Amino acid sequence: MQIPATSFYKDVNTNMKMAPVDREKANVYMERYGVEFDQLVTSFYGDKFLLYLWMFSSDNLCYVKSSCRAEMNKKIDLYVVDISFTKHGFVHDAQCECGAGEGPFGHCKHVGTVLYFSVKCVQSGEVKVESSFTEQLQSFT
Ligand SMILES: [Zn+2]
């Protein structure tokens, strides 16, 4: 999976033109790999499972990058998840750093969770993550 340089990404916010991802389109991807999308991730939503949600839009694709907790209540283990969407809102490809989420068609629970957040984000215009892009940058220095 081809991924843009990190510096291209911006925090997802309401002013952004995100690909029109919805539950149905996300389900298409998850079901292809036999993953129960709803059951898997709805329990994570609202618990600040993701540290951030970044987005970059190229001519053809909309890239989402996120850092996801490996397990609930564990701060140390984090996996970076990358998903790209077509401009129509379908998943183009996805990958995660964990053993089960190898790209280009990763479908582990972390990918599922980021997918779910993306859907929610498009739906509601709000992003439930732990920190902003700026805070992340500060923590790197
Ligand atoms: Zn994973």
The answer to whether residue 50 is domain-embedded is yes
38 or 8, higher pLDDT? 8
Strands in the chain per DSSP E? 10-11, 50-57, 61-69, 78-86, 91-96
Distance between Cα 78 and ligand 1 center (Å): 9
* Amino acid in position 38: D
The answer to whether residue 134 is domain-embedded is no
Distance between Cα 102 and ligand 1 center (Å): 8
Distance between Cα 3 and ligand 1 center (Å): 17
* DSSP H stretches of helix in the chain: 23-32, 37-41, 109-124, 133-140
The first and second tokens of residue 75, run together, are 């701060």
Report the percentage of the chain scoring pLDDT > 90: 45
Distance between Cα 81 and ligand 1 center (Å): 7
Peptide bond into 20 cis (omega under 30): no
78 or 56, higher pLDDT? 56
Distance between Cα 68 and ligand 1 center (Å): 8
The answer to whether residue 41 is domain-embedded is yes
Distance between Cα 112 and ligand 1 center (Å): 8
Distance between Cα 97 and ligand 1 center (Å): 6
The first and second tokens of residue 35, run together, are 């993953």
Range of the domain at 86: 12-124
* Residue 44 confidence (pLDDT): 62
78 or 135, higher pLDDT? 78
The answer to whether residue 136 is domain-embedded is no
Distance between Cα 126 and ligand 1 center (Å): 23
Average pLDDT for the chain: 82
Question: What are phi and psi for residue 93, nearest 5 degrees?
Answer: -155, 170
Give the count of domains, the chain: 1
The answer to whether residue 137 is domain-embedded is no
pLDDT in tens, 129-139: 765 544 444 44
* Residue 128 confidence (pLDDT): 65
The answer to whether residue 59 is domain-embedded is yes
Strand-pair partners of 82: 65, 95
The answer to whether residue 79 is domain-embedded is yes
The answer to whether residue 131 is domain-embedded is no
